[in-house]
Structure 1
Amino acid sequence: MPLHFSIAPEKLWRSIGTSGAPLIVDVRKPEVVASSNSVLPGAILRDPHEAASWAFAHDHGTIVVACVHGHRRSQMAAAQLRARGLDARILEGGYDAWVAAGLPLVDRGAVQKFAPQPPSVWVTRRRPKIDRIACPWLIRRFIDPEARFLFVDPPQVADVARESGAIPFDIEGVELSHDGERCSFDTILKVFDLEREPSLARLALIVRGADTARPDLAPEAAGLHAVSLGLSALAGDDDHGVLDRGFAVYDALFAWLRFASSERHNWPAKAA
């Protein structure tokens, strides 16, 4: 199959939030990055002049390179990557086209604070069920695709965070945790400026309803609650195993919210 040279913003957005999303590399000039305070979801910052020697932690398949307009800097870097046999594409129209299409961006200040260099490391209580699966899913799909997660006994989260430098979440007394009736998932959406994305906002309602015994918030909350507790019961102490299986649940929920929420099934059809 021939490789494509570019990808449209709308097509890239459809793949973000899925397990098959490409690696996004931001090659804008440092002064441009500093003045914008926004980055593409999950993007890593690199110098395009060093593209011939870029190393990646994993084989990401497709790589999308983005600059301001989709011109010199992104095309230079993509050409270097393609010369190495990699499937590298430019973002058509760059950041300008992405913004013009009204697509979501992530707050760069929050990324610098919590995930300045991939892979970022995060720590929380073991035996994740709902919020502690939803948050890692959100982090890995929209903030840092290389993020790593540590699960420890609840009293040890703060100490492990200090010892390892990991970011603690979903425990009392930290920034990324519950806020009143809102979950840690809500908090992370707000901190990273993703709460205005309609499908993520709706997903937050489902997570909140499932995690805080409020099934009235969304019809899907009771189902997520049941599936999440079932996954946890099957997994036992395999925290990373339940995380992997839980990601499939959130991938499916997010895809349904974006692409299939209006679809209805009524077989067998009612009699005339």
Structure 2
Amino acid sequence: MSADPTPLVAVVVAFDSEELLPRCLTALLEAGVESVLVWDNSPAPRKPWCQATLGDPRVRRLGDGVNHGFGGGINRAVDTLGDLAGVNLLFVNPDCFVNEAAVSRIRDRLADPSVGAVAPGMRYPDGRRGIAGGSRPSVIKEALAATRVDDLMPRRVRSYVLSGAGGRLPWGAYGASVTSADDVALAWVSGFCMGIRGTVFQQAGGFDESFFLYFEDVDLCRRVAACGLKLLVLGGVEVEHVESTSTERAGKSRLYWAGFEQYAIKYRLRAGRRLASLMQR
């Protein structure tokens, strides 16, 4: 375990997550986090799930019967902590299962004052690596991903384009998790399992609740980077992510493009706004 004594508070936003949430909470407790806040975005009356795990004094269940989205749920849960000085936060999706090695590395890296936020590598149950972070979004990248033209590109060309044509990314840093033991500094790290110091979260202003789901982590990281802090995907550690248990009913693609549209509006990407609008038709 890490020698860093700073308490690590995990925050999980749940929405009809009865199937996987117990495993998520058990993994967090076994990995050594000091406490867990579960913000339940499910409509009232809240369902009586996870009674065994929620009976643990380290776990608190919160909610008001309204679906505030991912960032809105995180903000409300964090607000209950009051003073964030001397607290590290770990945002975890309910379909993400952490392990002791990843939590220990997250603690260690957050002890570095030059680091703003971190994420471990992501791996799906079938062994594929997922996207744990990346370069700044652009219309070119989103269009390539939407049409899947990028799948046909040679690896070096794809890496160059995904980096914004400003140099090559280490392969695997944008389209997958880091495969080496070295950490990789990127423009954003994924909120599927994001560690951040409480004071940094506060300084950056928390999540922008105009993002309901998707791109709220990218936006937060942009503001953290503006504070002069690094964003790292951690090499050598991965956590399992099932993905999409809370978005299947609502339509993941629609929510994704709505998130990108909001990002394009906020950062004045007119072509991005047109693309996002077209993809939602």
Higher-Rg structure is: 1
Q: Which structure has more helix as a fraction of its residues?
A: 1
Q: Which structure has more strand as a fraction of its residues?
A: 2
TM-score (norm 1): 0.31
